[in-house]
Each structure stands twice: as C-alpha cells, then as structure tokens.
Amino acid sequence: MLITTDETNFITAFNAFIQTKQPYQYVYTSFGSKFNNQDVYFNAGSNTLTTRVDTNAVIQMVPMFLRTKPETSHILNIIIDIFPTQADMDMNTRLINEVVTDNMDCILINMKCTYRNIQTVVGRIMELVNKQSIPPLNMMLCNYIKFMNEPNMTEYEDELMIPKAIQNVLYKTKYENTYYEWYGYKMGLYDCIYNVSFSKRDLYFYQTTMNLIRYINLIAKMHIKNPCNKIEGLLHNSYDITCCVDIEMDCNPIAYPIKYTLYM
C-alpha cells in the first residue's frame, strides 16, 4: 500500500496509517531519492562527460534488498523529497507501484527538509521503532542528497544541515548507528551506501573510499580477496542497494554488506 502526504499533514496521516497495520519487521527511510532524470553522466579525469548510466533513483526509493524479503516480513518504506508538481508525484508513485511488493507499505512525504521538520519526522519514526522493538540492524535512514556539480550556497548548507538534524535525533539511542549516506556520483560505488558512524572513525575516509574503488576494480579483473584492514572495515559497513543475496547469518539484517556480495 502507498500513501502520499506532506510535512503539514505527516503526523496525522502517519498515525492514522500505522493504526491500521500489523507490526513491522523492517523500516527503511530515504531522503532525496526521487526519480528526476533517466540519465546520469560521470566525469572523466579531464572533466569531459564520457560515461552515461541509467539512474538508480527507483532502487534508492525501493532497494532490491527490500523487494526480496520473505512475504512474512512486513516492511515500512518512507520516501522523503520535494515533489514540486503533481506530475512529479504521480510519476514517482507510478514507478514505486511497479516494483513495490505486497508486504511493503510506502509513505511518500512531499517535504523540503529543514532542521525542524526532519527532527519531527525522524522523531516519529523513532517512536514507532521503539514501540515495536525493531532491531537496529533492521532499520536504515539513508541520505541520498548529493550534488554531481559544485553545490550553490543553499545546497551546501543543506548538505551540512540534513545529516546533523538526523543524527541529533539518533544520538545516544540504540539506533545511533542506523544512519547511512550514499557515496554519490562515484563510478564503482554509485549503487552503494555506507554507515556514517563507521566513517567517522576514519580520519582519512575519503582516501579509504578511493582505495575501495580501486580494490573493487581489481577484484573484477584479478579476483584479489585480501584487502587491508581499513578497506575490509569499509566493505563490512557498505551496502549495495541493487543486491539481493540470500546469506545464512546469525541475524537477519535489513541488508548484507558488500563484503558478502563481491565474490558472487
């Protein structure tokens, strides 16, 4: 089932919606994941546009690891973005309905993110997951707000504000480590997200990310399987939203790290 709302009506719509539903086993929330354009272009070293790929926006909104959960698992998927026209809302609703599964409920929130309304929305989600005792491994808050080109001042301020607003709600709770960010427009990691709590422990995270891209390229060519400790840690804390591998583990998390899927 899919419903749409906005920041003004979110609390009322959310509460009414949840009251009619069974408890959830998984909760996934994405910020800035809507479909805009079919094409994405990556820059070569000379800054010349050379490589075109299909957008992964629909997979950002409904990752493959959600679509392949067992039918007995009840999933709540919340999508937050600005839908400036009814046509934008209608198109994204149609795209989601084409891939959503019967055991998944989706809520589209038409909202320009501010510090206050992010805290309201994330705060309400936290109330739900606490009340339903959803394990931290079964919840993700994913920020896909990245800019391919140099952001303007407003965009730059949003890039700083949005993570801060989300993490301040999660701070010192058992869900503190459930915040993820998209790697952005990086060839090799375009379909991947990473755990922000892990990244903060690495003072050279940008360099580790570049090393990870090189390592993934080497795997494709030479099947190398012994990364250094930093890359191994990042592999364990990164997730491919296009992957839906079924792996026997002691727990049943919302998704499996890249390290379990590289050698398929």
> What are the angstrom distances between the C-alpha of 69 and each of 19, 72, 188, 221, 246?
23, 8, 26, 31, 9
Q: What's the rounded mean pLDDT across residues 228-257?
A: 71
The model's pLDDT over 90-127, given as tens digits with 9 standing for 90+, comes to 999 999 999 999 999 999 999 998 999 999 999 999 99
In this structure, the chain runs to a length of 264
Residue written as token pair 């009322």: 12
- In the chain, pLDDT over 70 holds for what percent of residues? 86
By the 10 Å C-beta count (0-12 exposed, 13-18 middle, 19+ buried), 167 is classed as middle
E-strand stretches of the chain: 2-6, 26-31, 39-43, 49-54, 75-81, 104-110, 139-143, 179-182, 192-195, 238-240
* Boundaries of domain holding 61: 2-197
Domain count, the chain: 1
Q: Is the pLDDT of residue 86 over 60?
A: yes
The model's pLDDT over 32-68, given as tens digits with 9 standing for 90+, comes to 888 887 777 776 555 555 677 788 889 999 999 899 8
CB-side neighbour CA atoms (13 Å) of 129: 28
Instruction: Tell whether 260 is covered by a domain.
Output: no
Mean pLDDT taken over the chain? 83
CATH of the domain at 56: 3.40.50
Give the Cα separation of 207 and 192 in Å (integer).
17
Instruction: Tell whether 111 is covered by a domain.
Output: yes
- Top mean pLDDT of 132-136, 197-201, 233-237 is at 132-136
Give residue 214's pLDDT band: very low, low, confident or very high (50, 70, 90). confident
> What are the angstrom distances between the C-alpha of 205 and each of 109, 212, 231?
32, 10, 10
Instruction: Tell whether 227 is covered by a domain.
Output: no
Instruction: Tell whether 114 is covered by a domain.
Output: yes
Instruction: Tell whether 16 is covered by a domain.
Output: yes
> Looking at residue 242, what is its pLDDT?
86
Instruction: Tell whether 207 is covered by a domain.
Output: no
Q: Is 40 helix (H, G, I), strand (E, B) or coil?
A: strand
Give the Cα separation of 186 and 180 in Å (integer).
16
Instruction: Tell whether 83 is covered by a domain.
Output: yes
Instruction: Tell whether 220 is covered by a domain.
Output: no
